């Protein structure tokens, strides 16, 4: 790989050519992961995608056990309706299969994609900047995967069971007939959004480096952030009990506090340099 001096002498087209190969390798990694998932469709759908539709799903058992252990009884136990997902077109199942395999490929290959990004920018970094950039790949990958797990095991099951059991009135005149497309859209969106939200410390790091965000600003508006977090937890959780809301709210609040620490570290380091 070219060193910093060689990189400085590279033309714009050479930079584009180098970036192209990094993108090609990233695309190949995503495609290979997607193909493996596509060929293992029974595991992909019956175990992973449709897992939250089963009463024995680990999240339901864990939440119910937590409620019993803290003396809350069955308030955190959820009863899952027998699912009947409908398709409205002949090609929907096939294209859903392809889409979920692609999304899964992106999630699995995400750390490698970040590694390729780091390899592209590494030659332009100074020796003092190279090591922090290497940690960026590791930390960003871990946070993204934690967010994916948080969305899949907590946010989505709670949200889905709340929505699927919600009724406008006690007469039950309106029945919810869920479609495959709606279900896939909800689980993929909530899981990916959760993964992106957990990248908040990384985003805060770069914004603080650019001087666009300070820890004082985040501390000043902490109370507003807490209100937003509690409202989001109240909307997501399927029951009005405080315990269920705290299961969702506490990790989000800790994420915000961790971002303040990151911003303070960056600002302090900038002042010393």
List for the chain the helix, strand, coil content (%; round to 5): 75, 0, 20
Cα 22 → chain centroid = 24
Phi, psi of 32 (to 5 degrees): -65, -45
Q: Please tell me the predicted confidence (pLDDT) of residue 236.
A: 67
Residue 252 zone, left/alpha/beta (φ > 0; ψ -120 to 50; rest) = alpha
How many residues can be counted in the chain?
273
Question: In tens digits, what is the pLDDT along the chain, a chain of 273 residues?
Answer: 444 444 445 666 776 777 888 899 999 999 999 999 999 999 999 999 999 999 999 999 998 898 888 887 777 788 887 778 889 889 999 999 999 999 999 999 999 999 898 888 777 666 665 666 678 888 899 999 999 999 999 888 888 887 887 788 888 788 788 889 999 998 998 899 889 889 999 889 888 888 888 899 999 999 999 998 888 777 766 555 676 678 778 888 999 999 999 999 888 887 776
Q: Please tell me the predicted confidence (pLDDT) of residue 266.
A: 85
Joined together, the tokens standing for residue 197 give: 């939200």
The SS3 call for residue 86 is: strand
Contact 118, 136 (CB under 8 A): yes
- Domain map (residue ranges) of the chain: 4-194, 199-273
Name the CA radius of gyration of the chain, rounded: 22
């Amino acid at each position: 790989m070219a060193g910093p001096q060689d990189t400085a002498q590279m033309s714009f087209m050479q930079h584009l050519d180098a970036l192209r190969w990094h993108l090609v390798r990233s695309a190949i990694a995503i495609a290979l992961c997607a193909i493996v998932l596509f060929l293992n469709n029974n595991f992909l759908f019956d175990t992973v995608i449709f897992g939250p539709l089963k009463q024995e799903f680990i999240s339901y058992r864990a939440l119910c056990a937590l409620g019993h252990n803290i003396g809350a009884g069955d308030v955190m136990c959820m009863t899952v309706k027998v699912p009947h997902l409908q398709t409205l077109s002949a090609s929907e199942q096939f294209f859903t299969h392809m889409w979920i395999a692609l999304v899964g490929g992106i999630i699995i290959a995400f750390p490698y994609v970040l590694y390729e990004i780091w390899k592209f920018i590494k030659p332009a970094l100074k020796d003092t900047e190279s090591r922090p950039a290497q940690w960026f790949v590791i930390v960003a990958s871990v946070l993204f995967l934690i967010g994916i797990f948080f969305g899949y095991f907590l946010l989505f099951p709670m949200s889905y069971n709340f929505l699927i059991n919600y009724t406008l009135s006690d007469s039950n005149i309106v029945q919810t007939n869920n479609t495959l497309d709606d279900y896939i859209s909800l689980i993929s969106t909530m899981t990916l959004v959760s993964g992106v939200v957990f990248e908040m410390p990384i985003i805060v790091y770069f914004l603080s480096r650019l001087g666009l965000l300070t820890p004082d600003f985040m501390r000043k508006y902490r109370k507003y952030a807490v209100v937003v977090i509690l409202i989001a937890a109240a909307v997501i959780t399927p029951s009005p009990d405080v315990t269920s809301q705290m299961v969702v709210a506490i990790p989000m609040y800790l994420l915000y506090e961790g971002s303040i620490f990151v911003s303070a570290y960056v600002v302090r380091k900038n002042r010393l340099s």
